[in-house]
Amino acid sequence: MARPVTLFTGQWADLPFEQIAAKAAEFGYDGLELACWGDHFEVDKALSDDGYVRRHWEILGKYNLKCFAISTHLVGQCVCDDPIDERHKGILPPRIWGDGDPEGVRQRAAEEVKNTARAAAKFGVKVVNGFVGSSVWKYLYFFPPTSQEIIEKGFKDFADRWNPILDVFDEVGVKFALEVHPTEIAYDFWTTKRTLEAIGHREAFGINLDPSHLYWQMVDPVAFVYEFGAKIYHVHVKESIRVLDGRNGILASHLDFGDPRRGWDFVSPGRGGVPFERIFRALNSVGYQGPLSVEWEDSGMNREQGAREALQMVRRLDLTPSDVAFDAAFAAKG
């Protein structure tokens, strides 16, 4: 049968948990991927309040919804980022930001991700999605001249900070899935290979496939699936579009999302250039059986319209693999 389709709640965090659960059920989704912000999944409460997890499952059950993953993108970003500045203050709870001292922020963020693994285990899910940040994203363009020694220090910094976190994931039987994404230590094909090597290909660390970030960089998401299939622990259905008209550039010109002068932008799933059917077929080939989680991001479209439409698109294009060869019936019978 086709894979379950869930709705990522990150872009719905302004709504109370039960309200987005009710909406997702009304739309027809099978479950939710819960963001660890807003009140959708609060790590500290999950660990300190014995009834918190039970109440969350009661609400999910009320609307006949499942949950396969929680996501800690915002806190995870702050584990490795350099610099740490006012942008990070805007995405962190005050208890993680503290006095804003950069290394203190990184250390508190790391402890929160460890606790997220523990909370996920208590909640009964096996995957935590998120970001890891990067101390070398700022060196994207190699001028002034940037040595590979500088870049290698960044990958080592990532491994040094994340290996102790992943030890906790191993202890509690949960996996972390990095969303390969600009601003992360892994943002394209080759940096993903380098990241997996830096972390020693350990089982606790894998990938949350989000093809929208590959597509606008002109990286083939289908080739990415075939290369890294064994490490894909979760999948986002998110969409982007390239608008390279001779004036708009791929680096987006420091323009806000939704500005028509950008060379690329996010659009609601099904309205861009991501080859979803080919991706779903590739996921079948590599044996991925997890959920397809719709992540809606579109500055020009109502999110409820987008959520409904994206679900219909996934239902239409996600294929149950055949258990027979189509040409088997051509064989001569003795």
Handedness of CA 60, 65, 68, 74 (dihedral sign): negative
Residue 87 belongs to a domain: yes
What percent of the chain has pLDDT above 90?
Answer: 94
In a domain, 81, yes or no: yes
Give the pair of three-digit tokens for residue 116.
Answer: 């997220």
Contact status, residue 62 vs residue 26, Cβ threshold 8 Å: no
Percent of the chain exceeding pLDDT 70 equals 96
Domain that holds residue 27: 5-323
Residue 187: give its domain's CATH number: 3.20.20.150
pTM exceeds 0.85: yes
Question: Where residue 156 falls among pLDDT bands split at 50, 70, 90?
Answer: very high
Whether the per-residue pLDDT at 155 is higher than 80: the answer is yes
pLDDT of 334 higher than 80: no
Residue-level pLDDT at 69:
98
Asked, for residue 332, whether it belongs to a domain, the answer is no
Q: What is the pLDDT of residue 126?
A: 98
Total domains, the chain: 1
Phi, psi of 239 (to 5 degrees): -125, 145
Does residue 264 lie within any of the structural domains? yes
201 domain residue, yes or no: yes
Does residue 283 come out as left (phi exceeding 0), alpha (psi in the -120 to 50 range) or beta?
Answer: alpha
pLDDT band at 320 (very low <50, low <70, confident <90, very high): confident
Round to whole Å and give the CA distance between 206 and 169.
Answer: 12
pLDDT band at 200 (very low <50, low <70, confident <90, very high): very high
Q: What's the pLDDT score for residue 2?
A: 81
Beta strands 239-242 and 264-267 are antiparallel
**Cα–Cα distance list, 236 to 91, 188, 231 (Å):** 21, 16, 14
Q: What does the block give as tokens for 271? A: 């309205």
Has residue 331 been placed in a domain?
no
pLDDT of residue 319: 77
Q: Is residue 59 a contact partner of residue 21, using CB atoms and an 8 Å limit?
A: yes
* Angle, helix 303-317 to helix 17-27, in steps of 10 degrees: 50
- What are the helix (H) ranges across 173-302? 189-198, 211-215, 221-228, 276-286
Q: At 190, phi and psi to the nearest 5?
A: -75, -35
pLDDT at position 1 over 60: no
Q: Is 204 domain-assigned?
A: yes
CB burial of 236-265 (b: ≥16 within 10 Å; e: otherwise) equals: bbbbbbbeeeeebeeebeeeeeeeeebbbb
| Alpha-helical runs (H) found in the chain | 17-27, 43-48, 50-62, 73-80, 86-89, 94-97, 102-123, 148-172, 189-198, 211-215, 221-228, 276-286, 303-317
Residue 330 lies inside a defined structural domain of this protein = no
Q: DSSP letter at 179?
A: E
